[in-house]
Amino acid sequence: MNRKKLTEKLTAKALLFLVVFFVIMLFTANLSAQVIDNKAEDKMVKKYKTKKFIKDIFNYSTFFAAYSESSPLFQPERFFVTQAGEVINVTPEIGNDYLVNIGLRKLARFDYTNKQNRYYDGSERNPSLSSNVGAINGLEYLFMYSKGQQQNRQYKSHRYFVRYSAKYWSLKLESQKNGLINLNYENADLRFRLPIKNLSLSAGASLRTHAPYGYLPIDDYLEENPWWDLAYENGYMDYYYGIDYDNDGQLDNFDWWWANPEGVRIADTDADFRRNHFTDIVNRYNKTELDKIGTLGTLSAVVGLDYYYFRDKFFSHLWANAYPIHKHIIGDFDYSYELVYGSDNWVDYNAGLMMGWNVSQKISIFTEYEITKFWDKKLSFLKTGINLKL
């Protein structure tokens, strides 16, 4: 093992140790203190305190399960005309969209968010999941699993979130997978905090896992092979034929028709094949190759701020994080974003702003804005509006 790898391994181990240490501290500090204190106490009291500790974890938490179903989006009908002039309706049949959410949550609500619905169904947008500071100190969590179908596409998602905020430090563990938008990451974030009135400054380290972003396996493949090799490798076969447009016995052009692995003719020309079949083969190839590389992990330094102000007339909640320096610590370095980018000091960031202003008795305006730039991925969300009371 060379020195670089050794350092990486040590860094990973140190971080893992730190995270495990904090988690154990968090969950056992309470208990172990009791165990020592309670040696003389009788069993009943011990039992009571353990119960209370567990009760504290589940206090104010809600278990929820919800099922929703709705008609799919309208699809215009599609028709195919056969060589014999017969019209066939080829509109794909689409089943109802549905979604099952099941979860356990304990998330404090900020004063500015709308009064919670009478029920939780898992569809709530909660700023607390992305802000740096929760509405309360202490333990907050969300464990949610979803399974659904949209436009005949089945998908599974999950969101696990645990945050413990103390006055001068915070720990956040997150795992999110969204089958609809192909989002999949895990995050462990440990920071020291400096609260100054409504403002909270923070600095620490964040370990994020991710797919090999910025690397496209098909690019490498096509540099060394012609595109049709990939089709052959997947069992497709092409057959040459000449074309004599003007029937003078001399060929004017040529092309290939294609058969699938079962030997069925599926495309009349190369262009036809590439347009209607090759795209799927390429997507499959990219996915298989990326899966082989597996998950990568980047350890980053992070600095952040969180500002919260709430009055009846005006509120604003702003948070921002910058990740200015990184170290690839999990997975094959050859596919790290560090290599794709060319150095270890690209800037990732995310930020959010929630704002509402009752300008007068009759006019109010509001804005919700969130932006995330991680690696070469950019996501944003904006909602803004005005209310006029007539």
Binding site for Ca ion (CB under 5 A): 244, 246, 248, 250, 252
Q: Residue with structure tokens 């304990």? A: 106
Residue of 218, 256, 216, 222 whose CA lies nearest to 237? 256
In the complex, minimum distance from the CB of residue 243 to Ca ion, in angstroms, rounded to a whole number = 8
For the beta carbon of residue 296, count every other beta carbon within 10 angstroms.
Answer: 23
Q: Give the nearer residue to Ca ion in terms of CB position, either 252 or 291.
A: 252
For the beta carbon of residue 121, count every other beta carbon within 10 angstroms.
Answer: 14
Q: Give the nearer residue to Ca ion in terms of CB position, either 249 or 263.
A: 249
CA 203 to CA 189: how far, in whole Å? 10
SS3 306: strand
Q: Give the nearer residue to Ca ion in terms of CB position, either 79 or 245.
A: 245
* Sheet of 237-243, strand order: 237-243, 253-259, 265-267
Helical axes 3-37 vs 43-58, angle rounded to 10°: 130
Q: Give the nearer residue to Ca ion in terms of CB position, either 83 or 250.
A: 250
Q: Give the nearer residue to Ca ion in terms of CB position, either 166 or 251.
A: 251
In the complex, minimum distance from the CB of residue 270 to Ca ion, in angstroms, rounded to a whole number = 20
Q: Give the nearer residue to Ca ion in terms of CB position, either 80 or 254.
A: 254
Q: First vs last Cα of the chain: how many Å apart?
A: 73
Q: Give the nearer residue to Ca ion in terms of CB position, either 77 or 246.
A: 246
Instruction: State which amino acid sits at residue 238.
Output: D
* H-helix segments, 266-335: 270-273, 279-293
In the complex, minimum distance from the CB of residue 272 to Ca ion, in angstroms, rounded to a whole number = 22
Q: Give the nearer residue to Ca ion in terms of CB position, either 95 or 242.
A: 242
CA 59 to CA 56: how far, in whole Å? 5
Q: Give the nearer residue to Ca ion in terms of CB position, either 71 or 247.
A: 247
CA 317 to CA 216: how far, in whole Å? 39
Residue of 25, 46, 28, 148 whose CA lies nearest to 97? 148
Q: How many CA atoms lie within 13 A of 230 on its CB side?
A: 24
Output the CA torsion 350→297→157→171 (10° steps): -60
In the complex, minimum distance from the CB of residue 248 to Ca ion, in angstroms, rounded to a whole number = 4
In the complex, minimum distance from the CB of residue 247 to Ca ion, in angstroms, rounded to a whole number = 7
In the complex, minimum distance from the CB of residue 269 to Ca ion, in angstroms, rounded to a whole number = 18
In the complex, minimum distance from the CB of residue 240 to Ca ion, in angstroms, rounded to a whole number = 17
* H-helix segments, the chain: 3-37, 43-58, 217-224, 227-233, 270-273, 279-293, 337-341
Judge contact between 176 and 129, C-beta under 8 A. Answer: no
In the complex, minimum distance from the CB of residue 242 to Ca ion, in angstroms, rounded to a whole number = 9
Q: Give the nearer residue to Ca ion in terms of CB position, either 16 or 251.
A: 251
In the complex, minimum distance from the CB of residue 246 to Ca ion, in angstroms, rounded to a whole number = 5
In the complex, minimum distance from the CB of residue 245 to Ca ion, in angstroms, rounded to a whole number = 6
CA 159 to CA 37: how far, in whole Å? 38
Distances (CA, A) of 132 to 63, 217, 311: 24, 36, 20
